[in-house]
Structure 1
Amino acid sequence: MERRRFLVGTVAAGALGAAAATAAGAPVAAEPGVRRVKTGLDVLVGSGFVALAGQKVGVVSNPTGVDAEYRHLVDLMHGSGRVEVVAAFGPEHGFRGSAQAGGSEGTGTDARTGIVVYDAYGASQAKWGELITKSGAETLVFDIQDVGARFYTYIWTMYDSMVAAARLGKRYVVLDRPNPIGGRAYGPMMTAGYTSGVGKKEIVQQHGMTVGELARFFNAEFLPVEAGRSADLQVIACEHWKRDKFAADTDVPWVMPSPNMPTPDSALVYPGTCMFEAVSSITEGRGTTRPFELIGGLAGDFDHHWGDRLNARNLPGVEFREAYFTPTAAGQKPQLLNKLCAGVEVKVVDRERYDPIRVGVAMLVEARKYAAFAWRADNWIDKLTGSSRLREMIDAGADVDDVVGAWTGELADFDGRRGSYLLYG
């Protein structure tokens, strides 16, 4: 299948990154000589792996760590003869991506390269320290495609491994990738009493940063306290990308970061509709062809009125289609597995105007009106949104503007704090 190519403008950016310059929107095919977007991995390969020469390298990656030709980072390094790869570390879903949500592949030997792969999913910072020491790595390299939401666990894999590397005095290199849902920040702040594996530090729900920018933010804001010092960090930045661009505006290969993130469309809605993980009576469409875009509960408990009421709100950038589907993956809701569900399909019609978290709140507000609506007993919504505020406000009958307005100040504060760590304009 031929990938769509779009003009994203020209930049002046080196291996460590610089601000993007101008941007346009015409197809690359119609613009001779336009340079495509390069990820940090593409830049590293183009340099002949110079940033890693002469070091023993441990790689934190998964199937998304590929170059423009879909060749994996570890395979490229191993085959180059220029980098000594001593280990790989597999996050949630595993290094080669064979495990479902909440799973990993275990520790073993990679069949393709013979390199030892350590199971690092859920590893504490202390465990990370043990794994790094056991591997003999002098430098850790992180290359995973994030999707831009605080509760997508790969950024916390990066954080914990950075803390461990800093404590051990190891070098840490991030091969940056574009944020597929752009560079705008939305949503509530994580608060200290609600941290977990889906949100370990104080950032907002849709952070609007690349993993490289997040690494810079973490390194300055959090590591000096948690690790006692900052990491020896290098970010190899993308070239020819600007933060107002979405995945569909670039030619960067899309490889599923997880089994229920099949397309950039899934990522676009995820920061909002993932909140339905916390509703026991509603599925977020796992096991369908449109996870996180198809949202519904048992037919009969939920119906077409949900979509009608949402469309009547005229939310910017989105429309809702009445939808019926049968989820074939349970997640935390086995009671909905292989059952006919009724609800909506979220159709983003204008990415520039679409606020996924406001939309997610509107969907929760309207769903709360059904008698069958029930939060998960563990109040998982509090961990996803960073406090009990959203749940308590919706339960009390607050409408969308009130809920969203409650985090305006903390979002503005975060937007200001992150500014000095941004690399792309």
Structure 2
Amino acid sequence: MRHFRRQTLLAAPLLCLTAALPFRAHAQGRVVPGLEVLLTEQKSLIEGKRVGLITNHSGVDRRMRHAIDLIANTPGIRLAAIFAPEHGLRGAIEGGDEVADARDERSGVPVYSLYGKTQRPTAEMLRDIDVLVFDIQDAGVRFYTYISTLGECMEAAAARGIPFVVLDRPNPLAGVRVEGRMIDLVRFRSFVGAYPLPIRYGLTIGELAGFIKDGMKQDLMLTVVKMKNYRRRFWYDQTGLQWIAPSPNHPSLASATVYPGMCLFEGTNLSEGRGTTQPFEMIGAPWLDGVKLAQELAALKLEGVLFRPASFTPSFSKHQGVACHGIQVHVADRNRFQPVRVALHILSVIRRNYPEHFRWRESSMDRLAGSDDVRLAIDRNTPVDQILASWEDDLRKFDAARRRYFLYR
């Protein structure tokens, strides 16, 4: 997720063929997303109101019926506006490309971009809105911009006294572990780092909304519609929900699992696998020796991960059309795998072995890491364990603080 360039928002209808079917109970133990709970048990939150819906392609129920269609076709509710985040309403726009305003073809409802001329709903956009509803699948990572969109929309709602409803969805990485440096907001606040969080924060989007609310200066009428049957130990593939890539370069849970660490390679001159079928699982460059790198990393005996030499040619992004050599990261035990630790070890080895070729994209790296001290420590050849140890106290404090916002056991 990067700075934007202008693209057109595709607002083709998102209606599913099953949109007219009624809700029915599914197998016990399967997670029921907040969207379904809203429409079956908490409809009073939006009944008789003009709804502004913040969503994208991921806002579906278990039968792939989209929130736009479900809300627009519910009697007594008026869908008045749709708001789209980075990647657009359909999730097809590449990271960093600006999203344009449009109109939903089927419903005729205006679609306002929150990743273009503005990142916060304006007063004009909210003029006819009685309640804002947020329904987007997040990635569980600080630099994923959907959480910044969440916060901006909460601020806009608070400023106008509009109730705000979050339809909760799973944290795909489970809600147990926290990882990474706490961001230095004084120096490195940005749209990929807007709140006092580590890289992996271990909260659902609804729990995170409660955390963000407590840091706001204005009062907000916040309601989180909880999921049913969710447990925070669940990885996404344990929820019974179908995986929908939340953005173009999150095609699978495998890529999402490594993303908290491997996204740091966006801050270097190496390819992070964009333009391949396995973004973030593979990294490389034309000048890298993948065999040697895999051997050196294997010798570190890092928990829960294996490394394989890999070659690939990106179809876009860094090194487009040029053969790259590097590694693929294979997660052998995701409950022991620590993506940030692993990424720092890879960066450290490459920085040490290829000083004539390796380059930082300093601004990008520092925003993603949360500070420049990570980059500077690697430049000084500081042991990775020492870098990680410098974060431990702050992580312990955050881990204790986040538990106040838990909605699930």
Give the TM-score, by structure 1 length: 0.86
Partner of 2:316: 329
Tell me if structure 1 keeps the 8 A contact 2:98–2:116: no
Task: Tell me the SS of whatever aligns to 1:271.
Answer: helix
Structure 2 unaligned blocks of 5 or more: 1-25
Post-superposition Cα deviations, 1:247-281, rounded to whole Å, max 9, x if no partner, equal: 1212112111111110111111100000000002x
Residues 123 and 197 (structure 1), Cα distance of their counterparts in 2 relative to 1, 3 Å cut: farther
Query: 1:394 Cα deviation (Å)?
Result: 0.4
Q: Which residue of 2 aligns with 1:379?
A: 363
Counterparts in 2 of 1:404 and 1:67: CA distance versus 1, 3 Å: same
Q: Which of 330, 335, 340 in structure 2 is aligned with 1:357?
A: 340
Determine if the alignment matches structure 1 residue 293 to structure 2 residue 281: yes
Distance 1:123 1:319 in 2: 43
Matching residue within 153, 178, 184 for 2:145: 153
Match of 2:207 in 1: 213
CA deviation digits over 1:355-391, x for unaligned, max 9? 1111111111111121311101x43111111111100
**Structure of greater relative contact order (alpha carbons < 8 Å, 6+ residues apart):** 1
Counterpart in the other structure of 1:414: 398
- Secondary structure in structure 2 of the residue aligned to 1:149: coil
How many Å separate the matches in 2 of 1:203 and 1:33?
Answer: 35
Counterpart Cα distance in 1 of 2:385 and 2:116: 36
Q: Which of 197, 214, 229 matches 1:240?
A: 229
Equivalent-residue separation in structure 2 for 1:96 and 1:258 (angstroms): 9
User: What's the CA shift for 1:301?
Assistant: 3.5
8 Å contact from structure 1 (residues 118, 131) kept in 2: no
Between 341-350 and 37-46, the greater mean CA deviation after superposition: 37-46
Q: Equivalent residue of 1:342, what SS? A: strand
Equivalents in 1 of 2:349, 2:66: separation in Å?
44
TM-score by length of 2: 0.90
2:59 matched residue in structure 1: 65
Partner-residue secondary structure (3-state), 2:397: helix
Partner residue in 2 for 1:167: 159
CA contact (8 A) 2:92 2:247 kept: no
Decide whether aligned partners of structure 1 residues 131 and 304 sit closer, same or farther in structure 2, where only a CA change above 3 A counts: farther
Q: Aligned in 2, Cα 1:123/1:158: closer, same or farther, shift over 3 Å?
A: farther
Work out the CA distance in 1 between the residues paired with 2:124 and 2:254.
35
d(CA) in 2 for partners of 1:104, 1:98:
12
Runs of 4+ in 1 over 6 A off after TM superposition: none
Amino acid at match of 1:187: G
Match of 2:88 among 94, 99, 105: 94
Contact 2:288–2:326, Cα closer than 8 Å, also in 1: no
Following the alignment from structure 1 to structure 2, what is the Cα–Cα distance between the partners of residues 305 and 374? 19
Match 1:186 to one of 153, 156, 179: 179
Letter in 2 for 1:164: A
- Conserved? CA contact 1:49–1:82, under 8 Å: no
Determine if contact 2:273/2:283 at 8 Å carries over to the other structure. yes
1:274 equivalent in structure 2: 263
Question: Could you list the runs of 5+ residues in structure 1 that have no partner in the other structure?
Answer: 1-31
1:328 shift after superposition: 1.1
Q: How is 1:384-399 mapped onto 2 (pairs within 5 angstroms)?
A: 384-399=368-383
Please give the alpha-carbon distance, in whole angstroms, between the structure 1 residues aligned to 2:397 and 2:191: 24
Match of 1:17 in 2: none
49, 73, 81: which one pairs with 1:79? 73
Q: 1:259 aligns to what SS in structure 2?
A: coil
For the pair 1:320 / 2:336, whether they are aligned, the reply is no
Contact 1:122 1:197 (C-alpha < 8 Å) held by counterparts: no
Partner amino acid, structure 2, of 1:354 = F
Compute the displacement of 1:123 (Å): 5.9
1:311 to 294, 298, 302: 298
**Residue pairs, 1:341-352, within 5 angstroms:** 341-352=324-335
Q: Distance in 2 between matches of 1:319 and 1:63?
A: 33
Q: Which amino acid aligns with 2:243?
A: W
SS in 2 for 1:244: coil
Number of equivalenced pairs: 380
Aligned partner (choices 292, 300, 321) of residue 338 of structure 1: 321
Is the Cα contact below 8 Å between 2:273 and 2:282 reproduced in 1?
Answer: yes
Matched, 1:142 2:134: yes
- Counterpart of 1:3 in structure 2 is none
Write the distance in 2 (CA, Å) between the matches of 1:404 and 1:232: 38
Letter of the structure 2 residue corresponding to residue 160 of structure 1: E
